[in-house]
Amino acid sequence: MSKKLLYVLLFASFVFQVSCEPVYYHGPVSDHFDGQRFFNPGQKSSKTFKDSLLWMILRDRPKWPKYQELPVTDQPPARVKGGDVRLSYVGHVSMLLQTRGMNILLDPVWSDRASPLSWAGPKRAHPPGIRFEDLPTIDVVLITHNHYDHLDLSFLQQLWQRDKPRIIAPLGNDTVINRKIPQLQIETYDWAEQVGIGADLVVHLVPALHWSARSIYDRGRALWASFVLETPDGNLYLVGDTAFGDGDIFRQAAEKYGPFRLALLPIGAYLPRWFMSEHHMDPQEAVQAHKLLGAQFSVPVHYGVFPLADDPYDGPLKALRIALEEQQTPPGQFHIMQPGTYWLVP
């Protein structure tokens, strides 16, 4: 099957999978919601669906390595007490954070493909860094937005049946999740809202420059966000996807919630820049964001698992190392993790 025909079939399948009577978020108009769709204030997108389709059809995708097993997978402890923060890197953006006796998952994706289809779409380069059977009881799941590489409904259903965790997401994502998993209970919040999750931990939803969609019909029907995890031992800034823009979202986060003990910053799916700059940071911008946030440490995420854009498999990390040197970043401020490994944050 040719690449062009495959993409045509993929988009056709999108159409057929959309419900005839979808339910979307309804709420008051705000500076980022027009009554029907969410948007980035002051950041009007110049890219259309036609641009997206043109890129998908004409792109020259770099060759990624074949699927391979990880040398190790993590076996996290049941709990981490006190102010220690233990990070376990599942891969892509999926991360297990353990602190103050709480187990928190960010954007958990365990499926083989970041796609609505089981037979097509971006496929994993390696398995998750934690086997499901080794995953400790999860207390809270944080979901930044509804793209398939961040919202894995099959995994959520499996986890809900086992642990019944609190699930926290931006506005409108409950309509997406409950269409497939009606029994799942999900809490949704707007930018600038906060929610306590116990053990002196507070989750704040903060702006990100991105978008949402699960099909070709529902772009902007659910909100996207980054999270600030406020802890007595230092705040954590957690990003799923964002563009850099003019950097104000990082300046504002630093002013309101900083200084940060740790930031998780995406560095991948950034090529070609003519298309991706409105959606994803590149490694140079991630280093700039780290500096604007005043983060003590940053961990790069969103690379090396799913071939989502035109980045080479090892391109984001190579570009990150160049950016760190060019911007004279002190050694050790960016801690690079491999899926299947963990880190005790200083």
**Closest by alpha carbon to 257, among 204, 195, 305?**
204
Are 231 and 99 in contact by the 8 Å Cβ rule? The answer is yes
Polymer length in residues for the chain: 346
Q: How far apart are the first and last CA of the chain?
A: 50
Residue 301 lies in a domain: yes
- The domain spanning residue 237 has which CATH number? 3.60.15.10
The pLDDT profile of the chain, 346 residues, written as one tens digit per residue, is: 455 555 555 555 555 444 444 689 999 999 999 999 999 998 877 667 677 777 777 787 889 999 999 999 999 999 999 999 999 999 999 999 999 999 999 999 999 999 998 899 999 999 999 999 999 999 999 999 999 999 999 999 999 999 999 999 999 999 999 999 999 999 999 999 999 998 899 999 999 999 999 988 899 999 999 999 999 999 999 999 999 999 999 999 999 999 999 999 999 999 999 999 999 999 999 999 999 999 999 999 999 999 999 999 999 999 999 999 999 999 999 999 999 999 999 9
Beta-bridge mates of residue 342: 88
In terms of C-beta distances under 8 Å and separation of at least 24 residues, what long-range contacts does 59-66 make, across chains too? 59/272, 59/310, 60/310, 61/307, 61/310, 62/307, 62/310, 62/311, 62/312, 62/313, 62/315, 64/125, 64/307, 64/312, 64/313, 65/125, 65/313
Cα-Cα-Cα-Cα dihedral sign, residues 205, 206, 208, 212: positive
Q: Each residue of 149-187: b (16+ CB within 10 Å) or e?
A: bbbbbebbeebbeebebbbbbbbbbbbbbeeebeebebe
Tell me 137's DSSP state: P
**Closest by alpha carbon to 207, among 171, 156, 261, 231?**
171
Residue 218 lies in a domain: yes
Structure tokens at 174: 């409950």
Residue 342 lies in a domain: no
Structure tokens at 162: 């086992």
Number of domains the chain contains: 1
Residue 25 lies in a domain: yes
Residue 87 lies in a domain: no
pLDDT at 56: 77
Structure tokens at 26: 């309804």
Residue 33 lies in a domain: yes
Residue 174 lies in a domain: yes
Structure tokens at 228: 């600030």
In which domain, by residue range, is 271 found? Answer: 3-42+49-62+142-335
